[in-house]
Amino acid sequence: MNPFPIIRLILAEILDLDVDQISPETYVIRTLQAESIDLLEIGVAMQHRLGIGVDDDLLFLKNVRTVLNRAKRDAKDPLDALKSEYPHLSENRVRHILADLSAGPVLRVEDLVAYAESFGQAKG
Amino acid sequence: MNIGFQGKTALILGGSSSIGLALTRLLQDEGLIAILTHASKDGLARIKGHFPDLATGSPHLDFSDVSDEALASALENDVDYLIDLAQADHETYLAAASQTDMDAYFKAHVTGRLRVLKAVTRSMLARRFGRLLHVSSTAATLPAPGQGLYGAAKRATEGLYQSFALELGSRGVSALSLRLGLVDAGRGERFLDRENRRQDLAQKIVTVDQAAATLLFLLSDQALALTCTTITMDAGLTAQKYL
């Protein structure tokens, strides 16, 4: 089952938006202006409505810069470091994140979808 | 004055305590559902002795060993109210405390408790209502010698409750700590009997019924503005310089 419609509905309810304003490419923090308390609620809602376990740090890509700083310190490839930390993201998506970092928080709706889908695959 | 309750279900941690059992009766009188946790066979037996029909559904929940299964069992029903009465006593002088005791006590009463609170509040967030009530102790600020671990854990717990209320208040979750003084039950009762202080401290004792009735009010809709803070109910025990 594609979790995108449910996730879009969750975001619309919590952020008081029209569902038409939300696509997979929408930035959750940069564009939708989600704050910390909103992210907490979004995680809880995904946990309850999708029946998945939620690790907020992974779901919301909270440690991207920490992971990159650690990779730099240890002279490791940043792409590999992010892929290892966030196995639910595709390589193309990780490449895009690396190119997109300077513009602000990178989290997009498609990342939430990928997390939910990977959980389903792990369970299956 | 009529008091009202917008929630229906109360989870009482340490439900087999005297205050927990007395509060259960009051909650039932108000038409609320009480779920009483226990951490030992003795606790379960006490619940069974007072409320046989509640013993079957009493979740086993021990702060020193909080498992996913235990949390799932405790949160099988949506919980609107959490009353936190669970606290093991461990009297020792801090300078005499063993490394094992120090680690275990804080792991259980701070970290283990926080794990339970996290699960409960995440459940409350989904419904945008919840009330957390921590039964603290005047030992949080005025511990007797030997109450160092207990008092420090209580004070840390007060901080956790305050922060939960601060962080989740905008989403309908409120929290309060009530510091009780000398209660004629549990460790208070043991103190009064051991030290033979019943007569000279008679006016400073909080009865179980008083404590339970106050907790009931603090859970009510009328008391929801009491949040993000700690209040004291000790019959004036800690208001004076010398006793």
How far apart are alpha carbons B238 and B151 in whole angstroms? 14
- For the stretch B102-147, pLDDT in tens is 999 999 999 999 999 999 999 999 899 999 999 999 999 999 999 9
Q: Give the pLDDT score at B189.
A: 86
Show residues of chain A in contact with B125, CB under 8 Å: 40-41, 44
- Dihedral angle sign, alpha carbons of residues A43, A44, A45, A48: positive
Q: d(Cα B13, Cα B20) in Å, to the nearest integer?
A: 8
The band of B192, judged by pLDDT with boundaries at 50, 70 and 90, is confident
> Please, which pLDDT band fits residue B233 given cuts at 50, 70 and 90?
very high
Query: Average pLDDT in the B12-31 region?
Result: 97
| Beta carbon pairs, A and B, within 8 Å | 13
Q: How much is the pLDDT for A124?
A: 41
State the sign of the Cα–Cα–Cα–Cα dihedral B196, B200, B204, B206.
Answer: positive
Contact A37 B126 (CB under 8 A): no
Q: What is the pLDDT of residues B83-102, one digit of tens each?
A: 999 988 788 999 999 999 99
Average pLDDT over residues B209-214: 98
Kind and range of the H or E run holding B225: none
Phi, psi of A6 (to 5 degrees): -70, -45
pLDDT above 50 (res B159): yes
Q: In terms of C-beta density within 10 A (0-12 exposed, 13-18 middle, 19 or more buried), how is residue B38 classed?
A: buried
Is A38's Cβ below 8 Å from some Cβ in B? no
Mean pLDDT taken over chain B: 94
To the nearest whole Å, the CA of A69 is away from the closest chain B CA by 29
> According to the model, what pLDDT value does residue B21 have?
97
Q: Which of B126, B167, B170 sits opposite A44 (nearest CB)?
A: B126
CB B83 within 8 A of CB B36: no
Rounded to an integer, what distance in angstroms lies between the CA atom of residue B219 and that of residue B27? 10
Write the residue in A37, A44, A48 that is nearest to B170 by C-beta.
A37
Q: How confident is chain A (124 residues) per 10-residue block, as mean pLDDT?
A: 95 97 97 96 95 95 96 97 97 97 96 92 52
Report yes or no: B129 and B171 within 8 Å, Cβ to Cβ. no
Predicted confidence band at B193 (pLDDT cuts at 50, 70, 90)? confident
